[in-house]
Structure formats: C-alpha cells, structure tokens
Amino acid sequence: MSDRSGQPDPAPPLDLGALFHPEDDLARRNEKLLSITGALIRQVEAMPEDHDHGFAQFQRAAMLEEQVRSRTRDLERALDLLNTSNARLAEASRETEAARQNLAAAIETVQEGFALFDTDERMVMCNSRFSVLLPDIVPKLVPGLGFDDYLNLAASSAHILLPADVSPPDWVEMRRARHKEHHFILDLAVEGDRWLQISEHRTDDGGTVILQTEVTDLIRREREERGRLQDDHAQIMRATLDHLTLGVCIFDARLLLLGWNEKLAEYLALPRTRVRQGMHFDQLLEQVKSQFLFPHGLSPHRISDWVRRVRRKDSLAIELTRKGGQIFKIFAQETPGGGFVMSFDDVSAERGALAALSQANETLEARVAARTLELEDALAQAERANAVRARFVAAASHDLLQPLSAATLYLASLPDETMSAPARKTIDKVQRSLDSVEGLLGALLDISRLESGHAAVTLEPIELGPLFAQLREEFIPLAARKGLQLIVPPVQGAVVISDQVYLRRILQNLISNAIRYTAQGRVHVGLRRRGDEWQAQIRDSGRGSIPPIRP
C-alpha cells in the first residue's frame, strides 16, 4: 500500500519479541539475530535512491512514537502520584476531622468553660460550659466569632454585674489591655451572687485559650471565713487597744469612728454613752477644742484640714496643753482604705524632765563658764610665773657663770712645769668638770632663751666620734662615784647635720639622767645606723623607761 503521495506505506514496527521463542537457547537467538541483520543489510543495499526519504520519515515516526510512549508513562506516573496524594489528603482530612471530633469531645468533658481562638483572633471552638452563666450570649458563640465581638457580647450581657464605677466599654477596654499579657486571671460577678474566674492564656503559635471556672462556693466560703476573721481581729484589736497607755481612736474614710479604747475616754473625759461606733470625727474635735489650749499660731482647723485631705501623705503631730497644765501629744496617720488612726499621749512627765534637764544644762553651762574663767586666770598667773622663772634662770645662769669663769682662769694660770703628772691629770679632770657645769648652766640659759623665742640654732656637720669620746671622759667619774659601769664604744666615721651645742647638751642631759636614776648596773651609750640616719641610744638598768621622741 501507498499513501496519497505515492510513497509506499511505512512498514509496521518490527516486533522482535515475536521472532524469539521462549524456549530458544542463546545460540539459537544469536543465529536468528544474524539472519535478521543480514536481511536488513541486503534490503538497504537493494533500496532505490529515493527510498532514503521514506526511511527518514520512518525513523522520525519511530522517534515520535517513543516520545509519546515516554510522555504517556510520565503522565501515568504523575496520575498515580496524584491519586496517591488525593488518597493521603482524604486520609488526613478524615484524621483531622476525627481529631477535631476527639478534641471537641475532650473539651466537652472539661469541667470548666473552654474556648479557643486562633492567631487571627477568631473563635475555633468552645464547649457547652463556656459562658453558661451568661445564657443570653451563648447562641452567638459560634466558630469564626472575633475576639472583640466576644468581649462586646459578654459586656452587653444582662446577667453580668460590673462594679458601680465601671461601664461596659470600660470593662471591654480593660479586657483588651489585659489580653496583651501572656497570662492573667480575673473574677467576674454574675447575677444571683455567682462568680466566674476567667483565666486567659496565650498559646505557643499566638492563639488564645480562655477558661471559665465558677468559684461561687469558694468566694462564699472566703466571705464567711473573712467575717470570722474580722470578728476575731476585732476582739484582738479591742484587747490590744485596751492594753495601750495611749488614748487611741480609729476612723474610716467617711470620718466615722470604728474603734477606740478606754484610755481615750479617760483622757478626753468622755462619758461611755457619748463614745459609740459610728460617731463622727467632728464630735471628737469639739471635745478637744473645749478641753485643750492651742499654742500661738495653731488652731483646731489644722487638725480638721489634715483629716479632710484626699491624700494624707504626711502624718500629723502636735502638742496641746490641757486646762490644768497637762501636756498631750496628738499623733495621727493614714491607714489603708482612706481612714486614719489618732492617738493621745500624756507627755507631761517627759516635758517636765526635759525642762529640768534644760535648767540643769543652763546651770552646768554657767558653772563651766565660771570654771573656764578661773582656769584662764590660773593660766595667766602660770604664764606670769613662768616668765619670772625664765628671767630668774637667765639672771642666775649669768651670775653663776662668772665664778665658774674665774675658777677656769685660776686653773689656767697654774704653771704646768712645776706640776707633777698626777696633779696635771687631776687639774684636767677638774677643768672638764667645770666645763660640764658651765655647759649645764648654759643649757639653762638656752632654755630660757627658747621659752622667750630668742634662741638661735646653727646647723653644721658634726663628727660624732670626738663628741662621744668627750662624753665618755666627762661622765666616767660621775658613774664611778655611784658604782656604775659607763660603756661608750668608740665611734668612727659618723657625721650628722645639727647644732653642736644643743646636740651635746641633749646627750649630756640624757646620760646624766640615766646615771642619776640607775642605782646599780651599767649605762650603755651607743650609736646605730638606721638607713641614712644615725640613732643615738642610751640604755640603763635603772627603773622606768623614757618614751620614744616622735618628730
């Protein structure tokens, strides 16, 4: 056969599977394939020249058929996947619906009212107990209800009891503000003296769960317990007030008397028939005004103004004098709830003691002033006596130095050539002793100069070796006469900056005192290096000690 173009019809596709018998072995199949291959080669060689176009068409048809088969297989696989996905989706829908039904059944078993809102603030579900105490809004609580619509429904319910100072819009605004919190709990009063506790929680995905629990029995029990506690507290407060030494009265925010003790009636001389619960504060104030004298610049309006303040941040404390001389301290302070407590304290004894103490202080101050004058007079006399002594010492020292100078001149006039060696040695010691006495008298004169402020100090380098050698020669005879051993080790290379006269006299004074107050033993005069300084040390075996000199 041929198509309309005169070309022969394409040969049907060769089915290789039909050429092979299932029972053919491998050799037989290879033989058949070789025969087929040879026949095909001969056919191609025998084809006319224009047969190439038909063969090409045949090849394209074969390729298109293979592509169609491939696309068909892909579509079949996609259809299988779609069917599988639809089956899974249907299964998931069935599971979701089952889970929803199970969740609805579960929340229906919850004893509290339960409602769930999604992240878009839309109600997902609620159980039959939700808002059961507000039956007029229950039919409107359906899935899809907005959270704000739910609040408006609840606020408009005829069964809700809001506080007197809270309107429905105020309550809705409060709930919206609290809704921003992650968790909160509040109580809601419902008609019939019933109460709901509303607990709102935020879920992890941003939804909202509302639980409503009826707490009517619990609140009623709390009321009863609170009433019993108030009775007990009233008894305890009464016993406490009666044991106070103060007169105490307690008023509420309306200035009505809540409690008092017997001491108050005693202080204010109030008959029992006039003190009663509910008495207004103005009646008590009239009693105060009739019995007490207010000091200058203070009036009863001060108390009345404080009592009638809206906010009593500061306490009230005043002192009044009762007709008869008694002094009372009135103290008042605000209590929670807008009331206040006021106390009356008799402080007459304390004020009397303070007055006596003040008088004693004045007397003591007068005595101290008189004693101060006496001491100033004695100090002036001592300063005058000291000046007289200084002048006397200066004059005496000058007069004593004259015979010493004469004795020194006499010793110096003795001829050395006619004097034996022991006599010369004795005269030298006498000369040194006279020099020491002259030095001591000069020290007294210097002391008087120091006290008068006329002493002059000359600082210069001083070698301590010769100075300590002179001190040893000077005080050895004095120590020997008392049977003491004077030890003054040799000093070499020690130089200090000081006044030579005063340094020598200070050391002479210390050594002479050590010898004077040492009964037996020895006196040691040494020099010790302390960093860049030299420290002179005089040690003795006598009684007592000299405290160190602080610069």
- pLDDT tens, position by position, 310-352: 778 788 888 888 777 788 888 998 988 888 999 988 888 888 7
CATH fold of 457-551: Heat Shock Protein 90 (3.30.565)
In 110-215, where does DSSP find H-type helix? 147-155, 168-179
Q: Is residue 145's pLDDT more than 90? A: yes
Mean pLDDT value of segment 413-423: 69
Beta-strand relationship, 495-498 and 460-463: antiparallel
Q: Enter the pTM of the model.
A: 0.34
pLDDT greater at residue 294 or residue 56: 294
How many other C-beta atoms lie within 10 A of the C-beta of residue 334? 19
Beta-strand relationship, 522-530 and 485-487: parallel
CA gap 113, 100 in Å, rounded: 18
Instruction: Say if residues 443 and 403 touch (Cβ distance below 8 Å).
Output: no
Q: How long is the chain?
A: 551
Q: Is residue 100's pLDDT more than 60? A: yes
Instruction: Say if residues 363 and 372 touch (Cβ distance below 8 Å).
Output: no
Q: Is residue 51's pLDDT more than 60? A: no
The mean of the pLDDT values for the chain is 79
Q: Is residue 4's pLDDT more than 80? A: no
110-214 shares its CATH topology with 245-341: yes
Long-range contacts of 498-501 (CB under 8 A, 24+ apart): 498/459, 498/460, 498/462, 499/457, 499/458, 499/459, 499/460, 500/458, 500/460, 500/462, 500/467, 501/442, 501/446, 501/458
Q: Is residue 1's pLDDT more than 50? A: no
Q: Is residue 379's pLDDT more than 90? A: no
Task: Please report, for the chain, the start and end positions of each structural domain, with discontinuous segments joined by +.
Answer: 110-214, 245-341, 347-444, 457-551
Mean pLDDT value of segment 210-214: 88
Alpha-carbon 352 to chain mean position:
45
Kindly state the tokens that stand for 127: 């159980």
Q: Give the class (CATH, top level) of 245-341.
A: alpha beta
Mean pLDDT value of segment 104-113: 74
Helix (H, G, I), strand (E, B) or coil at 74: helix
Mean pLDDT value of segment 411-438: 70
Q: Is residue 200's pLDDT more than 60? A: yes
CA gap 42, 343 in Å, rounded: 137
pLDDT score at 53: 62
CA gap 320, 311 in Å, rounded: 25
CA gap 447, 441 in Å, rounded: 10
* Mean pLDDT lowest among 148-162, 439-453, 455-469: 439-453
Q: Is residue 470's pLDDT more than 50? A: yes
pLDDT greater at residue 75 or residue 518: 518
Residue that has been written with the tokens 């609040």 in this structure = 151
Burial class, 369, CB count within 10 angstroms (exposed 0-12 / middle 13-18 / buried 19+): exposed
Q: Is residue 525's pLDDT more than 80? A: yes
CATH fold of 110-214: Beta-Lactamase (3.30.450)
pLDDT greater at residue 73 or residue 153: 153
